[in-house]
Amino acid sequence: MKTVFKRTPTLKDCPTHYCPGCGHGTAHRLIAEIIDELGIHDRTIGIAPVGCAVLAYDYFDIDMTEVAHGRAPAVATGMKRTNPDKIIFSYQGDGDLAAIGTGEIIHAAHRGEQITVIFINNAVFGMTGGQMAPTTMLNQVTATTPKGRTRASEGYPLQVSELLALLPGAIYVERCALSTPAQIRKAKKAIKHAFELQTNNAKGLAFVELLCTCPIYWRMTPAESIEWIEKEMTKVFPLGCLKDTK
Amino acid sequence: MCGNEALAEAAILAGCDAYFGYPITPQNEIPAYMSRRMPEEGRVFVQSESELAAINMVFGASATGKRAMTSSSSPGISLMQEGISYLAGAELPAVVVNITRGGPGLGNISPAQSDYFQATRGGGHGDYRTIVLAPSSVQEMVDCMLLAFDLADQYRMTVLVLADGILGQMMEPIVLEKKPSRELPPKDWALTGAKGREQNIIRSLWLGEGVLEKHNNKLKAKYEQVQENEVLCEQYEVDDAEIVVVAYGVTARIVRGAAAKAREEGIKVGWIRPITLWPFPTEQISKVANEFRIFLTVEMSAGQMVEDVKLAVAGKAPVVFYGRPGGSVPTVDELLDKIRQLTLRHEIKI
Amino acid sequence: MTADSFYEEIVIAGFGGQGIMLTGKLLAQTAMKAGKEVTYMPAYGAEVRGGTANCMVIIAEKAIVCPVVVRHDSLIVLNKASLNKFGPRLKNGGLLIMDSSLIDTEPQLDDSIEIIPIPANELAVELGSKKSANMVVLGAYLQKRGYLTADGAAQALPAVLARRYHKTLPVNTEALRRGAEFVKACCKV
């Protein structure tokens, strides 16, 4: 019998704690596949955020740490500067990276740290119970915007990729969506490129934003969530490569 | 070389692989010195965007098994408490230098000892301790740094070197030489890439019933070991003393001057100088506490260490406090006056 | 004063840019080279912004317990503001060295205090380096006190002067000597 699909070794053989229809599982799998394809399992160190992915070290079979909310790019800086031969990546959600950790990601990019950052944007705080994130869409109902996000009170959704693309130290910035199989294939290409830049010792930060579903706190079915990414989120967070200097 | 520079060079001597820091007075000589010397040695220097980032860079470097440090002054150390708590939870070694200044808030930039509570009680959230070393001369700034990196590695803890603006800025002749290092456990927990072994995980998150309790009890056992083995203090002419002055850091130097003058006047004064503020020399103080003595605690604060002195004395003798908060430095004569007053008030025979 | 109890507390003060800190460091370095115990403590940070600078040096035979100077034995001042601030804190019987080319007032101090006005700025200008007034007053101080020498300071200078200023070593050495000579000539010591 021909094997058409198997677990990639860097992904552990265990069920995750993620909700049905959540995008984290897909994102994990793509990263694990890329680590195996690039043969960098032995020298990759991952950094998990505070957020739903805090337990990512239970799913990736590599050396990993979990750090304070938003501080992953600073931790990654400390790791990479002292270990230039290692491949360092952070995996951060929108609460972590776009709210409390804005300073750390901007300055890591600004310094041109040679790290890879995977940014999961699902427009909401997941772990704490569906509160508004900086990336929450206008009119989106969350636990802390019960009548929907308004421009007047909470401001517009924050477009982190666009911000980072302005910085010379960020050498690669792309936004993808984990929605349809075609988009997921594009996302894999982007993530792989972001890791390859580091393995090729490119001088700067590689950043991939992934629009991700959160059916529970979007109050939708998984299928509706995918449609919402495609129809609504991409209007505010347009897909594509914002910058690739290599 | 000023105290700050001597301390920085000592860190290099101790094998510090990486320095991360953010400017704040009165410790700016440390990052300035490190920015020049670390690259010369082929090591890492990064000026971070904040103290928050600096302590997390230390976390990153330390997680990979490297010797890492940061330095700051009081307001910056407050910002670092989040990171220090995570370091404690994750059991990562780190050396943090606090060249203290007056507080609360922005306070001033004068020397102060008002961060004692923050330093010795953990400082951030959660059930943890940091080892706190309090040098009182430029030479001791050097010695404390050499010791700090070893202690950090041995116990996988944050070691805080608590000095003040005077020690940081002043110059004194010093001897810079590496002392033999302790025998240290291998860093088999470090994140170096899971090559030919199971993955290593560094974390401060311990979910599940009783899991964190078990972890915290493990930390507690470690802290007890530190209390057992690592107390450092100096004492002088305590045996016949009717007044025992307890002070640390630069204040202890002023106390030494006042005690010598008091002895010339025939007042029997001795002093105890804690070098480790945590673990505190509770036993050493307790041993000499009896009804025939008065304890005088002198601090550049409104009264912080005095609480530990009271705990150590445990009601066996009166404990009096004299402090100058807000960045003021007590003088030898002012302390001498205080000592004279005590002899009157308690009718100590001279 | 017996040699063993020798304990001299000095404050050096003036405008930022007059080389006050360097003068203090040089004094400390000279004393250290001569085998004395020494501490040097600068005013720092915002305190030294806005024009004034000062530092405290203690030189002694025995270990120095307290590095903070409250009342000093000697005061070297290069501007009027510093004289007003630190003059009253001089101990009775103390020594005041002041740059009389920059300070035009007569200090109102205790009679027991010896005052040596020296036109340091003028002397430095004569030497072709008006920035060396600090060296002139230090030379004067060392000559007056006598426990260290201006030559000793000249030898210690390369260790405290930033390398990029080493071309000024000869003129600064000359300024140290000029200060010493001034004291020799006028004070008959």
Tens digits of per-residue pLDDT, A187-206?
999 999 999 999 999 999 99
- List chain B residues with CB under 8 Å of C67: 166, 170, 172, 250, 253
- The predicted pLDDT at position A2 comes to 87
User: Which of B171, B255, B335 to mutate to test binding with chain C, by most C CBs within 10 Å of its CB?
Assistant: B171
Beta bridge partners of A211: A121, A177
Q: Which of B229-243, B269-283, B334-348 has the lowest mean pLDDT?
A: B334-348
Let me know: does B139 contact B130? Beta carbons within 8 Å. Answer: no
Q: Do B25 and C38 touch (CB under 8 A)?
A: no
Token pair 């930022």 in the structure block, residue: C16
The rounded distance, in Å, linking the Cα atoms of A35 and C32 is 60
What DSSP string describes chain A?
A: --------TTB-SS---PPTT-SHHHHHHHHHHHHHHHT-GGGEEEEE-SSGGGGGGGTB-SEEEE-STT-HHHHHHHHHHH-TTSEEEEEEEHHIIIIITHHHHHHHHHHT-S-EEEEEE-SS-TTTTS---TTPPTT--BTTBTT---HHHH-SPP-HHHHHHTSTTEEEEEEEESSSHHHHHHHHHHHHHHHHHHHTT-SSEEEEEEE---HHHHTS-HHHHHHHIIIIIHHHS--EEEEE--
Minimum Cα–Cα distance from A82: chain B residue: B61
User: Identity (one letter) of the amino acid at A210?
Assistant: L
- List chain A residues with CB under 8 Å of B53: 71, 74, 77, 103-104, 107
Q: Residue B279: is the preceding peptide bond cis (ω within 30°)?
A: yes
Let me know: does C4 contact C62? Beta carbons within 8 Å. Answer: yes
Q: What is the CATH number of the domain that holds A199?
A: 3.40.50.970
Surface-to-core class of residue C147, CB atoms within 10 Å of its CB (0-12 exposed, 13-18 middle, 19+ buried):
middle
Q: Smallest Cα–Cα separation from B193: which of A41, C21, A15? A: A41
* Average confidence score pLDDT of chain B: 95
Minimum Cα–Cα distance from B260: chain C residue: C65
Structure tokens at B329: 């430095």
CB atoms within 10 A of CB C110: 12
What DSSP string describes B97-160?
A: EEEE---STT--SS---TTHHHHHT-SSSSS---EEE---SHHHHHHHHHHHHHHHHHHT-EEE
Domain span at residue A220?
24-244
| Predicted ipTM of the assembly | 0.95
* In a domain? residue A1: no
Residues B37-64: tens digit of each pLDDT: 999 999 999 999 999 999 999 999 999 9
Let me know: does B152 contact B94? Beta carbons within 8 Å. Answer: yes
Counting runs of H as helices and runs of E as strands, what totals does chain C give? 6, 6
Kindly give the interhelix angle for C150-160 and C133-145, rounded to the nearest 10 degrees: 140
Question: For chain C, how many residues are written?
Answer: 189
Q: Which long-range contacts (CB under 8 A, 24 or more apart) does B119-123 make?
A: B119/B160, B119/B162, B119/B277, B119/B278, B120/B277, B120/B278, B120/B280, B120/B308, B122/B85, B122/B88, B123/B77, B123/B81, B123/B84, B123/B85
- The predicted pLDDT at position B348 comes to 57
- Virtual CA dihedral for B24, B28, B33, B35, nearest 10 degrees? 30
- List chain B residues with CB under 8 Å of A60: 199
Topology given in CATH for the domain delimited by C3-187: Pyruvate-ferredoxin Oxidoreductase; domain 3 (3.40.920)
What DSSP string describes B203-262?
A: -S---STTHHHHHHHHHHHHHHHHHHH---EEEES-TT-SEEEE--HHHHHHHHHHHHHH
Domains and CATH numbers, chain B: 3-229 (3.40.50.970), 233-345 (3.40.50.920)
* In a domain? residue A233: yes
Which helix (H) or strand (E) segment is C172 a member of?
helix C169-187
> Predicted confidence band at B183 (pLDDT cuts at 50, 70, 90)?
very high
Order of strands, sheet of C90-99, starting from the edge strand that comes earlier in the sequence: C37-42, C52-60, C7-15, C72-77, C90-99, C114-118
Q: Do A61 and B66 touch (CB under 8 A)?
A: no
What value does the mean pLDDT take over residues B177-206?
Answer: 94
What value does the mean pLDDT take over residues B103-109?
Answer: 91
Surface-to-core class of residue B113, CB atoms within 10 Å of its CB (0-12 exposed, 13-18 middle, 19+ buried):
buried
A41 lies within 8 A of chain B by CB = yes
Q: Smallest Cα–Cα separation from C133: which of C141, C144, C117, C122? A: C122
Residues A39-55: tens digit of each pLDDT: 999 999 999 999 999 99
Residues A126-181: tens digit of each pLDDT: 999 999 999 999 999 999 999 999 999 999 999 999 999 999 999 999 999 999 99
Token pair 């043969």 in the structure block, residue: A39
CB atoms within 10 A of CB B39: 11
Q: Which of B86, B192, B201 sits opposite A64 (nearest CB)?
A: B201
- Alpha carbon A216 to chain centroid distance? 19
Residues C35-64: tens digit of each pLDDT: 999 999 998 755 555 567 999 999 999 989
- The predicted pLDDT at position B347 comes to 58
Structure tokens at B178: 């590496």
What value does the mean pLDDT take over residues B322-348?
Answer: 88
Residue C174 distance to chain B (closest CA, Å): 26
Surface-to-core class of residue B349, CB atoms within 10 Å of its CB (0-12 exposed, 13-18 middle, 19+ buried):
exposed
C78 lies within 8 A of chain B by CB = no
A62 lies within 8 A of chain B by CB = yes
* In a domain? residue A3: no
The rounded distance, in Å, linking the Cα atoms of A223 and A230 is 11
Count of structural domains within chain A? 1
The phi and psi torsions of B146 (rounded to 5 degrees) equal -60, -40
- List chain B residues with CB under 8 Å of C42: 2, 169-170
Counting runs of H as helices and runs of E as strands, what totals does chain B give? 12, 13
Minimum Cα–Cα distance from B206: chain A residue: A55
What value does the mean pLDDT take over residues B293-307?
Answer: 97
C25 lies within 8 A of chain B by CB = yes
Q: Which of A81, A103, A110 sits opposite B46 (nearest CB)?
A: A81
> Predicted confidence band at B346 (pLDDT cuts at 50, 70, 90)?
low
What value does the mean pLDDT take over residues B337-341?
Answer: 95
- The predicted pLDDT at position B327 comes to 85
- List chain B residues with CB under 8 Å of C70: 331, 333
What value does the mean pLDDT take over residues B34-38?
Answer: 98
Token pair 């010591």 in the structure block, residue: C189
- List chain A residues with CB under 8 Å of B57: 74-75, 77-78, 81
Please enumerate residues of B whose Cβ is less than 8 A from a Cβ of A.
17-18, 20, 44, 46, 48-50, 52-54, 56-64, 66, 68, 82-83, 86, 90, 191-196, 199-205
The yes-or-no reply on C/A contact (3 CB pairs or more, < 8 Å) is no
- The predicted pLDDT at position C1 comes to 44
* In a domain? residue A108: yes
A11 lies within 8 A of chain B by CB = no
Q: Which of B17, B49, B86 sits opposite A67 (nearest CB)?
A: B86
- The predicted pLDDT at position B350 comes to 46
Residue C50 distance to chain B (closest CA, Å): 16
Q: Which of B26, B172, B331 sits opposite C39 (nearest CB)?
A: B172
- List chain A residues with CB under 8 Å of B46: 77-78, 81, 111
Q: Smallest Cα–Cα separation from B16: which of B1, B34, B36? A: B34
- Alpha carbon A45 to chain centroid distance? 16
Judged by DSSP in three states, B299 sits in strand
Structure tokens at C30: 């000279």
Q: Do A68 and B68 touch (CB under 8 A)?
A: no
User: Identity (one letter) of the amino acid at A131?
Assistant: Q
- List chain A residues with CB under 8 Å of B49: 103-104, 106-107, 110
Residues A70-128: tens digit of each pLDDT: 999 999 999 999 999 999 999 999 999 999 999 999 999 999 999 999 999 999 999 99
* In a domain? residue A197: yes
User: Identity (one letter) of the amino acid at C29?
Assistant: Q
The rounded distance, in Å, linking the Cα atoms of B280 and B312 is 9
A81 lies within 8 A of chain B by CB = yes
* In a domain? residue A12: no
Under-70 pLDDT residues of chain C: 1-3, 45-51, 188-189
C66 lies within 8 A of chain B by CB = yes
Q: Which of C41, C46, C70 sits opposite B170 (nearest CB)?
A: C41
What value does the mean pLDDT take over residues B231-244?
Answer: 96
